Amino acid sequence: MIVVENLHKSFGEAEILKGISTSFEKGKTNLIIGQSGSGKTVFLKCLLGLFTYEEGTISYDGKIFSQLTEGQKRDLRAEIGMVFQGSALFDSMTIVENVMFPLRMFTKMSKSEMEDRADFVLKRVNLPDAHHKMPSEASGGMQKRVAIARAIVNNPKYLFCDEPNSGLDPKTAIVIDNLIQEITDEYQIITVINSHDMNSVMEIGEKIVFLKNGLKAWEGSNKTIFKTDNEIVTDFVYSSNLFKKVRKMYLEENE
C-alpha cells in the first residue's frame, strides 16, 4: 500500500499541495482527478520522488521514502513502472529495444533473458508481432501499449500512469483502460493514474481522489461518485449535459 499523510508542497510562496492524506491499495486502479491547476501533476511527481516536499510523508509498503538512503531509493525506483503522457518512447530504438530498456537499467539479465521477457510482455499487451517496428511506424494506441509493456517488463510493484488516454480516440482509450485494469488485477500492482478522462473515471475508477486547489475535496469510487452530493465533484464530473443525464438516470433507477 502507498500511504500519503499530510503532504505539503510549495514553489516559492505558491502553496500547491495543502495537506493531502490518502492511500492507494494493490490490485486496484486508483485515479487522481481534478481540473487544471488542482495540483494533481505535482502530487503524482511527489509520489514518484521527482519532487521533494516541505511537510508530510509518503510510504511504500511501510518504507517512508524521505528516510531511505540513495541506494534504497534506487531499489525502490526499480520496483516502479511509469506510463508517460506522450508514451515517451525512444525514436531511435525498435519497439522491443524500448521495452527492454528498464531491464538494461535495473537488472543483470542476459540478452536472451531480456528478449524473452520483452516478448512475454509484448504478447501480454496484444502486440506479438511488433518487435522490430520503430515507434514512428506504430499508431497512437500501439505506442501506448508499448509504453505499458515497458512499464511492466520489470515486474513492478507500483505502476504510475500520467494521462494514459491523452490523444487517443474513445474506442482506443477504452482498450487502454481495460488493459491497465486487467494488468493491475492480474499482477496485483498498486496502480495510480492521473486522468482527466471521465470515461476512465466511470469505467475503471475503483478508487478516485478528487483534488481542488491543492486539497483533497472528495474520495470515493466510480460507484459512489454517482451518489455524492458534493457540489464541487458533481460540477466537475457532470459538467456536460450527457453526464448529467447519465447521473440522473442512475439515481432514478436506484431510488
| DSSP states along the chain | -EEEEEEEEEETTEEEEEEEEEEE-TTSEEEEE--TTSSHHHHHHHHTTSS--SEEEEEETTEEGGGS-HHHHHHHHTTEEEE-TT----TTS-HHHHHHHHHHHH----HHHHHHHHHHHHHHTT-TT-TT--GGGS-HHHHHHHHHHHHHTT--SEEEEESTTTT--HHHHHHHHHHHHHHHHHHT-EEEEE---HHHHHHH-SEEEEEETTEEEEEE-TTTTTT---HHHHHHHT-SHHHHHHHHHHHHHT-
Burial (CB count within 10 angstroms: exposed 0-12, middle 13-18, buried 19+), residue 180: buried
Distance of CA 209 to the CA centre of its chain: 12
Residue 141 is predicted with a pLDDT of 93
For residue 189, which amino acid is it? I
pTM to 2 decimal places: 0.91
Residues 168 and 202 in one domain: yes
- Domain that includes residue 121, residue range: 96-154
What's 195's domain CATH number? 3.40.50.300
Please check whether residue 100 lies inside any domain of the structure.
Answer: yes
Count the domains in the chain: 2
User: Are 1 and 127 in the same domain?
Assistant: no
Q: Are residues 114 and 73 part of one domain?
A: no
Residue 41 lies in a domain: yes
Q: What is the pLDDT of residue 255?
A: 66
C-alpha cell at 220: 470515493
Does the residue 134 lie in any domain?
Answer: yes
The residue out of 137, 154, 171 marking a domain boundary is: 154
Q: Which residue has the cell 522491443?
A: 96
Rounded CA-CA distance 161/175 in Å is 15
Whole-number pLDDT of residue 118: 96
- Which residues of the chain fall short of a pLDDT of 70? 240, 242-244, 246, 250-251, 255
68 lies in the same domain as 167? yes
Are both 39 and 124 inside the same structural domain? no
Residue 87 maps to a domain: no
Q: Whole-angstrom Cα distance, residue 31 to residue 117? A: 28
Answer yes or no: is 234 within a domain.
no
Q: How far apart are CA 171 and CA 101, in angstroms?
A: 29
Rounded (10°) CA dihedral 157, 163, 167, 172: 50
Residue 47 is assigned to a structural domain of this protein: yes
CA 59 to chain centre: 17
Residue 241 domain-assigned (yes or no): no
According to the model, what pLDDT value does residue 236 have?
A: 83
- Does 10 share its domain with 60? yes
The answer to whether residue 110 sits within a structural domain is yes
| CA–CA gap between residue 140 and residue 164 (Å, rounded) | 11
